[in-house]
Amino acid sequence: MTPSTAERIGEYITAESFSRLPPEIIHKSKLCIMDSIGCLFGARNLPVSRMIDSFFTDNHAAGPGVRLLDPGMAAFYKASLINALDFDDIYEKGHPGATVIAAALSMAAHRECSGADLLEAVVVGYEVSCRAGISLLHRTPRKTIHGHGTWQVFGATAAAAKLMRLEARQAAQAIAIAAVNAPVASVMKTVYGKNPSMAKNNFGAAAQTGISSARLAAAGFEGPLDVFEGQTGFCRMAGADECDFGKLTSGFGSTYEISKVGFKPFSCCRLIQSSVQACRDVFTMAGFDAAAGEHIKLSVTAPPIVCEPPFSTVRPKDMWAAQFSAPHAIAMAVLGVEPGPDWFAADWVRHDFAGSLQDIIDFIPRSARDLSREPHAASACLHLHDGRVLEKHVQFAEGEAANPMQESALESKFRRLMSSAVGDSASFKMLDNLQNLKNATSVQPLVSLVSGAVYAAQTHSERNLC
């Protein structure tokens, strides 16, 4: 009997082994963990972090200064913060690290596992999550139903199932359970609606559901193993028109989608990264301080979606709208504000000069022909009072898989984000743990550092963020 898609995924989850992973894939998984942990701590002083803290009131102590949540609740917490700044990793679709890393770290805190076990689970989570995303096909490019958390639930499920050492049938059941309990596809309202909100991609719910699904399967709970097949399969539940089953299951264990994951240099939506980089670079070419006001006009030629609200919105009212505002992100970059929480400080979101800089930006949609060749490319054209016209074209933004961020830059991003929450000493200690993760006999020192540092960050002075 031909196995169902859920069963094939379950077989892969069980069969994948650290011993057969290529060295570059092991290294990439470590970088993914590092970037997600950095983003988590970068968000530690945001108001949303305090909101989640107040929600999780029945924590229990796991040691001096360390709080240990139920793994599902802990995954909700971590995933929400990893994605809070929109600074987390990117792929052809979605932000796989927010759900995979959150689930893996949270489950590892409750299991006896080595560094190799954690890296193995992270790779499995990325492979299942990324393939699920690209398998969902749409006949029209602009969807009315859209939601990354809806399918990223599978990455969290796979990572948890791997760390729990579920058998293939149990792992398949976990995937089936996750499919029918996945968060609703709500991005067209939470992000693309009139008022982008902190609900965003519902990654917290996806990570929590993934862990719960694996635990339910371990307890004997069952789901529909044919959940991906037929006209009523998961693709329809997720708002897609059809499923490309080849993309979903082909190449497991031989090709790795995690190799195509990128890391952001700017804390804003991936769709506007190239526009931000082009504008930053053209101001650098001009050789003057943007605050000097010597420019007269800035034109940005970008994908059509960037030229429409919420991406074209000037003077966003809060940090959630600011993450999807190309004018705000451009203003922050050209003014030299450090990407991360500083971009969303109340003083910068409401800054008069930053607002006036946003007002002079003219967005021009790229042609369909250009878009087919370079889907995310953007160009900036700066007109100066002295008559000069400077132009910059960015085909692939820095950090995209096609234009990878230098590892030294990624480490610098990590240290800066983490140090802002817990100081330099804890930052370097965490980095040392990550660099030696492959050979660690236990991940408890790492997960204790994460949990302890999160707890310590609560005692730091909080920034005035909107």
Tens-digit pLDDT profile for residues 73-108 = 999 999 999 999 999 999 999 999 999 999 999 999
pLDDT at 67 over 70: no
Report DSSP letters for 92-137, one per residue. SSS-HHHHHHHHHHHHHTTS---HHHHHHHHHHHHHHHHHHHHHEE
**What Rg value do the Cα atoms of the chain yield, rounded?**
22
State how far the Cα of 38 lies from the Cα of 101, in Å rounded to an integer.
Answer: 12
% of the chain with per-residue pLDDT over 90: 79
Average pLDDT over residues 198-220: 96
State how far the Cα of 178 lies from the Cα of 213, in Å rounded to an integer.
Answer: 5
Average pLDDT over residues 145-169: 96
pLDDT digits (tens, 9 = 90+) for 365-378: 999 888 888 989 99
State how far the Cα of 260 lies from the Cα of 244, in Å rounded to an integer.
Answer: 19
State how far the Cα of 271 lies from the Cα of 86, in Å rounded to an integer.
Answer: 11
Contact by Cβ (8 Å): 281, 392 = yes
pLDDT at 464 over 60: no
- The SS3 of residue 20 is helix
Please tell me the predicted confidence (pLDDT) of residue 466.
Answer: 43
Give Cα 370 distance to the centre of its chain: 27
Structure-block tokens of residue 35: 């970037």
Please tell me the predicted confidence (pLDDT) of residue 290.
Answer: 81
% of the chain with per-residue pLDDT over 70: 93
pLDDT digits (tens, 9 = 90+) for 214-241: 999 999 999 999 999 999 999 999 999 9
Structure-block tokens of residue 69: 């949540």
Alpha carbon distances (Å) from 26 to 32, 246, 259: 10, 25, 10
H-run or E-run covering 457? helix 444-457
Structure-block tokens of residue 157: 């499920």
pLDDT grade for 296, boundaries at 50, 70 and 90: confident
pLDDT grade for 461, boundaries at 50, 70 and 90: very low
Average pLDDT over residues 331-348: 96
pLDDT grade for 272, boundaries at 50, 70 and 90: very high
Please tell me the predicted confidence (pLDDT) of residue 372.
Answer: 83
Contact by Cβ (8 Å): 269, 322 = no
More confident residue, 50 or 318: 318
What is the β-pairing status of strands 361-365 and 295-302? parallel
In the beta sheet, which residues pair with residue 300? Answer: 363, 380
Q: Which domains, from first to last, does the chain contain?
A: 5-265+403-457 (1.10.4100.10), 270-394 (3.30.1330.120)
Nearest residue to 4 (alpha-carbon basis) of 212, 221, 243: 243
Nearest residue to 174 (alpha-carbon basis) of 135, 221, 129: 221
pLDDT grade for 460, boundaries at 50, 70 and 90: very low
More confident residue, 293 or 426: 426
Mean per-residue pLDDT of the chain = 91
State how far the Cα of 255 lies from the Cα of 86, in Å rounded to an integer.
Answer: 28
More confident residue, 454 or 284: 284
Please tell me the predicted confidence (pLDDT) of residue 115.
Answer: 98
H-run or E-run covering 66? strand 66-68
Task: Give the residue carrying structure tokens 């037929």.
Answer: 230
pLDDT at 60 over 60: no
Contact by Cβ (8 Å): 399, 405 = yes
pLDDT grade for 451, boundaries at 50, 70 and 90: confident
pLDDT at 66 over 80: no
Average pLDDT over residues 302-310: 95
Contact by Cβ (8 Å): 218, 170 = yes
H-run or E-run covering 296? strand 295-302
pLDDT digits (tens, 9 = 90+) for 238-264: 999 999 999 999 999 999 999 999 999
Please tell me the predicted confidence (pLDDT) of residue 260.
Answer: 97
Average pLDDT over residues 414-436: 93
